[in-house]
Structure 1
């Protein structure tokens, strides 16, 4: 749950900065879509949360 809250805050900040710079592009649209799914309580949000948790776990296991 902490990972999801952190991602929502981080993605919200990035989206805010992109909107202020008027630099929203196609890749940024995917970022906004991910942010929306994290906030929404749909069936797709569960799948996206699992994928993001898997990615966070995989990145956490990387050692420099």
Structure 2
């Protein structure tokens, strides 16, 4: 069975649980969200997306 998850969903869930556990202050969570939002609108978005895709492909190609 193949499961596809969006990186945005996974990271959003991680930030949600960090905020809920009070491991990340609300202000820092807001700044992290704004940083991601503005980073996505820059020229860095393409290379970051390709790097994450390559990393995930490499992880899926690992065999135990």
Specify the TM-score bucket, using the shorter chain as the normaliser: 0.5 to 0.7
Q: Which runs of 5+ in 1 are unaligned?
A: none
Larger-Rg structure = 2
Normalised by the length of structure 2, the TM-score is 0.66
Bigger fraction of residues in helix = 1
**Which structure has more RCO (C-alpha within 8 Å, separation ≥ 6)?**
1
RMSD: 2.8
* TM-score where L is the length of structure 1: 0.66
The gaps in structure 2 that reach 5 residues or longer are: none
Greater than 4 Å deviation, 4+ residue runs? none
